[in-house]
Amino acid sequence: MPEETPQFSFEAGLQQLEAVVKEMEGGDLPLERALELFERGMKLSEACRKQLEEAETRIEILTRRAGEMQPQPFRADK
């Protein structure tokens, strides 16, 4: 069963990702900790990328609607 990515705001995810990068840049990390941080960073990066894609889709939907600026749900599985 795949591990679920925790839900958080884009801004919170970006802050967490920046903290991961800062710790990794500090160096002198044991290999196991560096791997944990790398894995966490990859998950955060993917979650933020998905949120950006969802925002882009929503903007596209809004700009296509002639005269009606009303958000509508979209399906990510399209």
pLDDT in tens, 6-49: 578 999 999 999 999 999 999 899 999 999 999 999 999 999 99
Question: What is the structure's pLDDT at 1?
Answer: 42
pTM over 0.85: no
Kindly state whether residue 46 falls inside one of the protein's structural domains: yes
Domain that holds residue 43: 10-64
Residue 30: give its domain's CATH number: 1.10.287.1040
Is 52 contained in some domain?
Answer: yes
pLDDT band, very low/low/confident/very high, at 2 (cuts 50, 70, 90): very low
- Gap between the Cα atoms of 41 and 54, Å rounded: 20
Helix (H) or strand (E) holding 4: none
Q: What is the pLDDT of residues 44-54, one digit of tens each?
A: 999 999 999 99
pLDDT for res 63? 77
Pick left, alpha or beta for residue 27 (phi over 0 → left; psi -120 to 50 → alpha; otherwise beta).
left
Q: What's the number of domains the chain is made of?
A: 1
**Residue corresponding to tokens 């998905």:** 50
Longest Cα separation, the chain? 57
